[in-house]
Amino acid sequence: MIYTAMVRQRGQLTIPDQVRKVLSWLQIGEVVGIEIDDDELRIKPHAKVNKKMDWDSFWKRMELSRSFRGTKNDKPLSQMVVEDRKSH
């Protein structure tokens, strides 16, 4: 069976409901592997990941890391990292 989907502006692709219902491993939060062979793209379960990603925990840790202050001019640590990367 062939299903169609549209690639959106930022390269986002919505997998149709019919496909997600057939593939029990394709759930919210799953990490997938993308294979490219010639002109063909395959999406498969990512073999090395054994657990689902806890996105709530991830974003809480991300917010926490962004809240740390550096010693230079009391800038947020994330801003200092960005400035440091740009300076190299």
CA 54 → CA 30, 43, 61, 63, distances in Å? 10, 21, 11, 15
- pLDDT bin (cut points 50, 70, 90) of residue 78 is confident
Residue boundaries of the structural domains of the chain = 1-50, 55-86
CATH T-level fold of 1-50: Pemi-like Protein 1; Chain: D (2.10.260)
Q: Is the pLDDT of residue 71 over 80?
A: no
| Count of beta carbons in the 10 Å neighbourhood of residue 26 | 15
Q: What is the pLDDT of residues 10-57, one digit of tens each?
A: 899 888 999 888 988 888 888 888 899 999 998 888 876 556 778 888
5-9, 61-65, 75-79: which is most confident: 5-9
Residue 13: which region, alpha, beta or left (left: phi > 0; alpha: psi -120 to 50)?
beta
**So what's the pLDDT on residue 70?**
63
Distance CA 22, CA 9 (A): 27
